[in-house]
Structure formats: structure tokens, C-alpha cells
Amino acid sequence: MLNVVIIEGYVTAKIWNWSGDRCFRLASYRDSHLPQKPPPPPETNHDQRADYVTVRVPGGAAGGIPVAIQPGQRVRVHGFLGSRPWRRTLAEIARQSQGAPVVWGEGFNPQQSVLEDEVVDIVAERIIVLGSSQEGEGREGRK
């Protein structure tokens, strides 16, 4: 089966480590000939024109070379789709969500309600730095 991904985009400010892997969010803007996303609601505080995807770099090194990515860099990622389990309690989901605090019903324990899910990432085999946002179009309000 074919499982190959090549994507370009801008590294967002969201960069973290997970189980020994380096992860970051990539904002990728669609080519003009592709269907575009509808305009975002006015209260949105980040750029909704982009599609966002998580890139995971196993061991923090793509192709054996340690990754030194920075927010705002324009990169091209070569890799494949990979999935991993993600288990969260309802309390964790409520803490991470945006909006008003959650009021739980009497006797309900959100720590006991568990969501077991799969997260799909792009697993990077090679990352090429193409430049920074200042050199190109200058995207505003990255997620």
C-alpha cells in the first residue's frame, strides 16, 4: 500500500515532546486552485485559512539528523501517516477546551469517563527548511 506524505507549511508556536518524539503543528495553506475554507467567525483568535496538522519526528531526529525547527519557519516535510492511541478523561478534555468552566451534575465524576481515540500524525522522515514567514507572504495569527 502507498502511504507517502509531502507537505509544506509554516511551523506554529506549538512545539512539544511526546514519548521521546519531537512534535509540532504545521499550518499549511491550500493552493489557489483547491477549494478554500469558509471565512471564520469573528471571535476566532487564530488564522483559519490554514489547515493544521501535527508532525511527529521519531526520537527528535528526521533521517538521523536532530531537528532544530523554530516557529515561523517554512518547511517541507516528507513522511507518512502514522497513528497512536490517545486516552483522555472527560475532566482533561474539559480543562483543555476553550470556553466557560464546565459544571458537572451532582454525583458525576468526569475522571471516570474516558475517551479512547486514535490520533493521526505525519511521521517525518525528512524535513527541509525553506525559509521563514518574514521572507515570504508573512502569515498572521498562527495557531
In a domain, 102, yes or no: no
In a domain, 140, yes or no: no
In a domain, 112, yes or no: no
* Residue 136 pLDDT exceeds 60: no
Provide the domain limits for residue 127. Answer: 5-83+118-132
Our count of domains for the chain comes to 1
Counted residue by residue, the chain has a size of 143
* Residue 44 pLDDT exceeds 90: no
* Residue 143 pLDDT exceeds 60: no
Residue pair 66/22 in contact by the 8 Å Cβ criterion: no
Residue pair 111/89 in contact by the 8 Å Cβ criterion: yes
Query: pTM for the whole thing?
Result: 0.74
pLDDT number for residue 31: 87
Q: How confident is the model at residue 98 (pLDDT cuts 50, 70, 90)?
A: low
Neighbouring C-alpha atoms within 13 Å toward the C-beta of 80: 8
In a domain, 104, yes or no: no
Q: How confident is the model at residue 138 (pLDDT cuts 50, 70, 90)?
A: very low
Residue pair 9/27 in contact by the 8 Å Cβ criterion: yes
User: Which pLDDT tens digit goes with each residue over 3-36?
Assistant: 999 999 999 999 999 889 999 999 999 888 988 8
In a domain, 75, yes or no: yes
Can you give the CATH number for the domain in which 46 is found?
A: 2.40.50.140
CA–CA distance, 24 with 54 (Å, rounded to integer): 6
In a domain, 142, yes or no: no
Higher-pLDDT residue of 27, 45: 27
In a domain, 96, yes or no: no
C-alpha closest to that of 122 among 70, 68, 79: 79
